[in-house]
C-alpha cells in the first residue's frame, strides 16, 4: 500500500471527523425570545454570563451528538456524591414516593446566606438524585449555599421497591405536587425555585399550568431545560432514522421497559393485567416508545388512544395557563429535540410577561460541556447558568414585595 494512498485515507478520515464534530463552528451567545424586557433585564443583571458566548469543548463540543452521548454514558467529568437524607411519602394509590434533601455544605461560598432558598430538581427520564448530572449540580448548589430537593421518579431507584401499581410517566404531575406539599410543610418559609431537565422540564411546566393543584405561594419561578414540549410531535420525529434519532428512541424504550420488567411482580401481577387489559408479551416485544406506551402506559393511566395520552402529557397544550415566572432553555443541535419542536415555545415567550426562552446554537441534549481542548471543565455551562438564574427570580420577587409594601 503506497504512502500516498495512506496519506489520502488519513486526510479523508480527518475531513469526515471534522465534519461530524462540526469543528469549524464558533462559540455563540444565547438568543432570547421574550416580550417582557424588564424580566429579561433582571435575568441579565443576575446572570451576566448569558451575555457572553457559550464556549463548548473545542474538539468535540460543537457536535450535539457527542455532547448528548457523553452526557448519557459518562455523565460529568467530576461527579461527587453529595450527602443528604431520603424522605418517603406514602401516597393514596399505595405508591411510595421518595425525594432526596440536600442541605448547604458547611463553609459554603455564601455561608448560609440562602438558607431559605430551596432548589426543586426534577430529573429527566429514568433519572434520579443518583444520576451523575444531578449529583454534580446538587453538589455545586450546596457549595454555593443552597438547599436542594430532588424528586426520584417512581420505580427508578435501584434500592427502593415499587409498592403501588404504577411507575412514573411523562405527564403525571401528582408526584411533583406531593413532594412540594411535603416540602412546604417542612420548610414553610423557604423560597422555592424549580429546575426540570428534559422530561422533568415538561412535568414542571405542566404542573405550573394545571389549575387543580394549590401551588405553594413561595414557589417563585422555574427553569425548564431541553424538553420537547409536544409528545405527539416529538414521537413522529424520533421514529425517523434521520440524524440517528431512532437509536435514541430505542435507548429510551429499553430504559423504561427495564424499569417495568424490574418490578414486573408488582406492575404485571395477574390482577393488574386483568384490570388494565395488559399483555405481558406485547410489553416485552415493544420495539419503540409508542409501542411500549400503547401496550402499557396508556392502559395503566386509563387512556383510550395513544394520541390522547400524549396530548394529556404534553405541556404545550397548557402553556397559556402558566402564571409563574419561567425560563426555557434548549439547544438547536439537540438530536432528541429537533428545531421544529421549538417553535411553540418561541411564540409563547414572545407574548407572555415573565417568560423568557433561551436558545443556544450548541449543547446537545443536557450536555452543555464547556471549556478545554479535549477535557471539559468539571462544572458545565448549564450548572453555572442555573445558579445565576436563581438570582433573577429572587430579584423579581424582591421587587414585587417592594411594590406590595408601597
Q: In b/e form, how buried is each residue of 220-238, taking b as 16+ CB within 10 angstroms?
A: bbbbbbbbbbbbbbbbebb
Q: Among the options 334, 362, 383, 386, which is catalytic?
A: 334
Q: Among the options 65, 365, 383, 386, which is catalytic?
A: 365
CA 89 to chain centre: 23
Q: In what order do the strands lie in the sheet with 147-152?
A: 31-33, 355-360, 326-331, 219-225, 191-197, 117-122, 147-152, 96-102, 85-90
Q: Which three cell numbers stand for residue 312?
A: 394529556
Q: Among the options 46, 198, 224, 386, which is catalytic?
A: 198
> Coil, helix or strand for 153?
coil
Q: What is the spatial distance between Cα 24 and Cα 49, in angstroms, rounded to a whole number?
A: 23
Q: What is the spatial distance between Cα 163 and Cα 91, in angstroms, rounded to a whole number?
A: 10
Catalytic status, residue 198: yes
The backbone torsions φ and ψ at residue 99, rounded to the nearest 5 degrees and listed phi first, read -140, 155
Q: What is the spatial distance between Cα 163 and Cα 90, in angstroms, rounded to a whole number?
A: 9
Catalytic status, residue 383: no
Q: What is the spatial distance between Cα 406 and Cα 404, in angstroms, rounded to a whole number?
A: 6
CA 94 to chain centre: 26
Please list the active-site residues.
198, 334, 365
Amino acid at each position: 500500500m503506497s504512502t500516498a494512498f495512506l496519506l489520502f485515507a488519513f486526510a479523508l478520515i480527518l475531513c469526515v471527523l471534522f465534519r461530524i464534530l462540526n469543528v469549524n463552528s464558533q462559540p455563540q451567545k444565547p438568543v432570547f425570545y421574550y416580550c417582557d424586557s424588564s424580566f429579561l433585564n433582571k435575568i441579565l443583571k443576575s446572570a451576566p454570563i448569558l451575555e457572553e458566548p457559550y464556549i463548548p469543548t473545542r474538539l468535540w463540543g460543537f457536535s450535539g451528538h457527542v455532547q448528548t452521548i457523553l452526557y448519557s454514558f459518562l455523565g460529568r467529568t467530576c461527579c461527587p456524591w453529595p450527602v443528604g437524607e431520603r424522605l418517603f411519602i406514602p401516597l393514596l394509590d399505595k405508591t411510595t414516593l421518595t425525594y432526596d434533601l440536600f442541605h448547604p455544605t458547611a463553609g459554603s461560598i455564601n455561608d448560609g446566606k440562602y438558607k431559605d432558598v430551596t432548589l426543586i430538581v426534577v430529573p429527566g427520564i429514568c433519572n434520579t438524585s443518583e444520576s451523575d448530572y444531578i449529583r454534580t449540580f446538587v453538589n455545586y448548589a450546596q457549595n454555593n449555599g443552597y438547599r436542594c430537593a430532588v424528586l426520584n421518579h417512581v420505580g427508578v431507584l435501584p434500592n427502593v421497591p415499587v409498592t403501588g401499581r404504577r411507575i412514573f410517566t411523562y405527564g403525571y404531575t401528582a408526584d411533583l405536587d406531593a413532594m412540594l406539599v411535603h416540602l412546604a410543610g417542612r420548610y414553610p418559609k423557604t423560597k422555592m425555585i424549580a429546575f426540570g431537565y428534559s422530561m422533568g422540564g415538561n412535568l414542571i411546566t405542566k404542573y405550573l399550568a394545571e389549575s387543580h393543584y394549590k401551588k405553594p405561594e413561595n414557589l417563585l419561578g422555574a427553569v425548564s431545560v431541553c424538553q420537547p414540549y409536544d409528545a405527539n410531535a416529538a414521537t413522529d420525529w424520533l421514529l425517523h432514522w434521520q440524524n440517528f434519532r431512532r437509536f435514541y428512541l430505542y435507548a429510551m424504550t429499553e430504559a423504561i421497559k427495564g424499569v417495568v420488567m424490574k418490578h414486573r411482580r408488582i406492575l404485571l401481577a395477574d390482577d393488574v393485567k386483568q384490570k388494565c387489559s395488559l399483555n405481558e408479551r406485547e410489553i416485552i416485544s415493544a420495539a419503540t416508545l409508542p409501542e411500549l406506551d400503547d401496550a402499557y402506559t396508556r392502559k395503566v393511566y386509563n387512556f383510550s388512544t395513544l394520541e390522547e395520552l400524549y396530548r394529556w402529557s404534553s405541556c404545550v397544550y397548557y402553556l397559556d395557563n402558566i402564571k409563574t415566572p419561567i425560563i426555557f432553555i434548549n439547544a438547536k443541535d439537540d438530536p432528541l429535540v429537533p428545531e421544529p419542536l421549538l417553535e411553540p415555545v418561541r411564540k409563547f415567550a414572545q407574548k407572555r410577561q415573565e417568560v423568557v426562552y433561551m436558545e443556544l446554537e450548541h449543547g446537545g441534549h443536557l450536555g452543555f460541556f464547556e471549556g478545554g481542548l479535549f477535557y471539559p471543565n468539571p462544572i458545565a455551562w448549564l450548572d453555572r447558568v442555573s445558579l445565576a438564574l436563581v438570582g433573577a427570580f429572587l430579584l423579581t420577587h424582591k421587587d414585587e414585595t417592594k411594590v406590595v409594601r408601597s
